[in-house]
Amino acid sequence: MKVVIVGGVAGGATAAARIRRLDEQAQIVVFERSGYVSYANCGLPYYIGGVITDPNQLTLQTPESFYQRFRVDMRVRHEVTAIHPEKKTVSVRNLATGEEFEEGYDKLLLSPGANPTQPPMSGLDDPRLFTLRTVEDTLRIRQFVVETKPKSVVLAGGGFIGLELAENLRELGLEVTIIQGIDHMLLQLDPEMAAFLHAKLREKGVRLLLGHMVEGFASTPGGIQVKLKQADPIQADMAVLAIGVTPDTALAKDAGLELGVRGSIVVNDRMETSLPHIYAVGDAVQVRHAVTGENTLISLAGPANKQGRIAADNICGGHSRYLGAQGSFVLKVFDMTVASTGLSEEAAKLAGLDCDKVYLAPANHAGYYPGGKIMMMKVLFERDTFRLLGAEIVGYEGVDKRIDVLAAAIHAHLTGPELKDLDLAYAPPYSSAKDPVNMAGFMMENLKDGLLRQFHWDEVDALPRDGSVTLLDVRTPQEYANGHIDGFQNIPLDELRERLGELPAGKPVYAHCQSGLRSYVACRILAQHGFTCYNLSGSYLLYATAKRHYSPAPTADPCGRQLP
C-alpha cells in the first residue's frame, strides 16, 4: 500500500507515524510546502518573545529524523498543485528546483491546514506587516524585531495568536495595541468573562481598541500606518495581521471534493472525504460540534492530532471514529490563564438552546494555605435538563485542571448537578475538600431543588430603585466603602439575623456579596424568615469587572477573609 500525505505538522505527521506503527510494509510519502515537516505551532510566539531561545526546539521532527525512526519519505519544499482522483495521482512541484512530476497513491490523506485570513485591503505587501502561521513566518518576525528594534506594534486581531504575541512583544518592551472587530477579546469567551482578560492586558500596558475594524495598511517614512473604519489611523513600527484563519482547500475544490462550512472539506466520522480513497484531517476539515451536533470549524492542535490518528487507523483497515470536538482550549496571557470548553453562552443561544449558567469565584486551593488566588468560573447548562453545555474560566493557578475536568464531564454527558459527585484529588496546596468543580455542581443542584434563586450581572442596573424591591449588599463595611453598586444597602452577613427588621416584609430581596457565597447564605437565612431572595451569581466581583473592567488583586478572598 502506498499512502501520499499532503501536509505535515499536526495531522499529517501524526497520521504518517501511526500508519507506520500499524503497517511496517506501507510506502508513505509526505509532501510539505514549507521547509519544516513537524513543528510546534503553539510555540511560535514564544520564540519571537525570546522565551524559547533555540529555533531548533520548535521543530519536533526533521525529514531525516522522521525517516530514521519511521522510514517515512518526508519531502519538504514540495507543493502539491493538483489531485487527479480518476488516476489516483497528485501533481507536485519541487519549490527548490522547479521540477514538476506526478506521484501515484493507493490512499491519499489531505492535511493542508489553514492560511491566515487576509481580506482584500490595501497595503498587504508592506514589509513591516506580518502574519504568523509557519516557522518561516516566526523567523522573519524575530529577525525584524532583533535587527530593527521596533518600539511599537499593532496587532490586528484578538484571538490566540494576537494575545500570545501581545504578551511576548510587550515583554520585549514594545508598545502594543490590539485592534479587535468585536467588543471583546477571544470569540470563544462571553464578554463578561473576557472583561477579566481586558483588565489584565491593560494592567500590563497593552492598549485595546475594541469594536474597531481594520480597513488597510499604508507605508510611511517612519513605519506602517493602520487604517481603521470610522476612526483615526494608528502609526506603528510594525503590524501583525491575526484576524483568523481560512481553510486551505483550493486543491480539494479543484479535485471536486464536497465542501462545507466556510469552504472546508466535508468528511465523515472516519475522516473520509466525498471521493473514494481520499481522507482529510486538521484545520481544513468540517467537524461535528460535540455539544450541538452542528457542523463547524475548530482550528486547534488537539483535534487535528486525533483526526490524524483516526484517518491512519482507517487507511490501514481499522474502524476508528471521530466523535467531534468541543473546542477546549487553554491560553496563557502574562500571569493569567484563560480556558474554555464547549459552548459559550452566545454560541448556545445562536444554536437555539435554552441555557442558564452559574458563576462562582473560588480560590485555586484551600483558603488557609498561603498563596491562594481567585478564579472566575462560568458553567453553562441546558435549563430544563441541566445538561452541561460549556464552561469558561479566567484566573491563575489551577484553571487548566478545572477546565479539563469540565471538558471530560461534558464528553461523558454528565448533568450539572452530577459534578458534585466527582471524586477529585485534594490536598491543601492544590485544591479544597470541595473542589471548585464540585461547588459548581452544588450550585446547580440547589437551583434544581429550588434552594437557590439567582439573577445575573447584566440584570442589576435594570432593578427598580423605587423601594418596590430590597437591594442588599452583605459584605463588610470596608468592602462596601471600597466600591459598591448604587442603590444597594449594606448589612453585613454576620449581622443579618439581628437586623431583619430593617428589611421591608413582603418585598423580594436581591442580594450580593463579593463572589456569591455569603449572599447565598444570606438568601437561605432570609428564605427561612419568609422572604423571597435572589442571589447575584458571580456577585460584585463579576459585576464590577464586567461593567468597569476592574480587576481586584488576585489574592483577595471572595469570602471577605484575609488570606495568609
Residues in CB range of 476: below 8 A, 6 or more apart: 492, 560
Q: Hunting for cell 444570606 — which residue is that?
A: 522
C-alpha dist (Å) from residue 381 to 288, 414, 452: 19, 10, 16
Burial of 553 (0-12, 13-18, 19+ CB in 10 A): exposed
Instruction: Give the chain's largest Cα–Cα span.
Output: 89
Beta strands in 7-53 (DSSP E): 27-32, 38-39
3-state class of 356 per DSSP? strand
Considering only CA atoms, which of 149, 147, 211, 201 is closest in space to residue 180? 211
Give yes or no for a contact between 181 and 189, defined as CB atoms under 8 angstroms apart: no
Residue 522, all three cell numbers: 444570606
**Could you tell me where the DSSP H helices lie in 211-299?**
250-255
Residue 272, all three cell numbers: 473520509
Tell me how far the alpha carbon of residue 314 is from its chain's centroid.
30
419: left (phi over 0), alpha (psi -120 to 50) or beta: alpha
Beta strands in 383-469 (DSSP E): 388-395, 454-455
Would you tell me how many other CB atoms lie within 10 Å of the CB of residue 368? 11
559 is catalytic: no
Beta bridge partners of 436: none
Tell me how far apart the alpha carbons of residues 487 and 473 are, in angstroms, rounded to a whole number.
10
Tell me how far apart the alpha carbons of residues 133 and 116 are, in angstroms, rounded to a whole number.
7
Torsion angle in degrees (nearest 10) through CA of 311, 312, 314, 320: -70
Q: Hunting for cell 460584585 — which residue is that?
A: 540
Residue 202, all three cell numbers: 491593560
Residue 201, all three cell numbers: 492586558
394: left (phi over 0), alpha (psi -120 to 50) or beta: beta
Tell me how far apart the alpha carbons of residues 243 and 161 are, in angstroms, rounded to a whole number.
9
Which of 42, 513, 533, 559 is an active site residue? 42
C-alpha dist (Å) from residue 474 to 512, 535, 539, 559: 6, 11, 11, 11
Considering only CA atoms, which of 502, 542, 558, 559 is closest in space to residue 526? 502
What are the catalytic residues? Answer: 42
